[in-house]
A and B are shown apart, each in its own frame.
Chain A
Amino acid sequence: MLFYGTELSSRLMLGTAQYPSPEILADAVRAAQAGVVTVSLRRESVGSRAGQAFWSLIRGLGVPVLPNTAGCHTVKEAVTTAHMAREVFETDWIKLEVIGESDTLQPDMFALVEAARILSEDGFKVFPYMTEDLVGAERLLRAGCQVLMPWGAPIGSGKGLNNVFGLRALRAHFPDVPLVVDAGIGLPSHAAQAMELGYDAVLINTAVAQAGDPARMATAFRLAVEAGLIARTADPMEQRDMAVPSTPVLGRAVLA
């Protein structure tokens, strides 16, 4: 599966925020064998070199970066942030976030489509953070997106896949579009479930960063994503409502 023409080294995308220390972040990225790491832009006070140190650390890890527009609530903010990110991180990849509601951090699908259109026309390769809305997905593809990133649950909630039906419908409607579950995943089992549904990758941050042992949890996610991907390609059995004995009935003794 190609993401804008690029084959990722792994299907696990990892956020870089909220780790206890830069060293633990680096350990987690290595343990995850992440195919992509997400990054952001923030104000840096005069004299502080925190941003420069962070950038050195990320570059040292040798993993492709996907800058985000986190915190943007309008098309203008998101588009301007994307341009700033393109210059700083030297990539035309952008994880486009346009937040519409503060409690759930739910994407504003209307503004998202508009921003995606503007950025796609300007040469950006847009990874839109979206709800699992089927019509919205269609509009985003028409706006120029070649990857879709529906949420599993609200950012940082750890609730897993809230709407499996909706995610499955997206997969079925767009069999050839790279799909990534972004946000809401709390456990490796959630990540495995996303991959079993046929998703092409998952993006995790809080579940690894806020674990007691982030590097160990990153390993667990790496294995879960791999297990889910292999399971998907192994063609899983269909669910049934009634039991079907797995041990042969023929030849059973009559002992009653």
Chain B
Amino acid sequence: MRILVNEEPRDIATATLAGLLDELGYGDARVATAVNGAFVPASRRGSLTLDEGARVEILAPMQGG
């Protein structure tokens, strides 16, 4: 299945958002996720299934003003 992760196309084997984070090697990294423009809390990543073409955003802490 092909999806977009931070706007980059990726072919993935997993069906869930939690599976995607594992597959991409984020491990226990402190990140926040959104799918198709909507926030997905960490507690819902395991049950959230990704569809073909899903737009996933994975954000991490960064410097800010």
Contact = CB atoms under 8 A, between A and B. Distances in A.
**Chain A partners chain B:** yes
Contacts of B33: 84
B60 A42 contact: yes
A182 B64 CA distance: 13
A211 B62 CA distance: 21
On chain A, which size bracket covers the interface?
Answer: 35 or more
A contacts with B: majority SS: mixed
Contacts of A83: 32, 39, 41
Contacts, number: 103
B54 to A, nearest CB: 16
A87 B29 CA distance: 13
Interface stretch (A2-10, A16-24, A135-143): A16-24
A15 interface: yes
Contacts of A44: 29, 31, 58-60, 62
Contacts of A87: 32, 39, 41-42
A158 to B, nearest CB: 13
A51 B27 CA distance: 14
A113 interface: no
On chain B, which size bracket covers the interface?
Answer: 20 to 34
A54 B59 contact: no
A25 B63 contact: yes
A50 B64 contact: no
B47 interface: no
A45 B61 contact: no
Contacts of B38: 80
Contacts of A46: 5, 24-26
Given A46-B24, A87-B42, A88-B30, A51 B65 contact: no
Given A88-B30, A88-B31, A38 B41 contact: no
Given A80-B37, A85-B32, A16 B64 contact: yes
A85 to B, nearest CB: 7
Interface of B: 5-6, 24-26, 29-34, 37-39, 41-42, 57-65
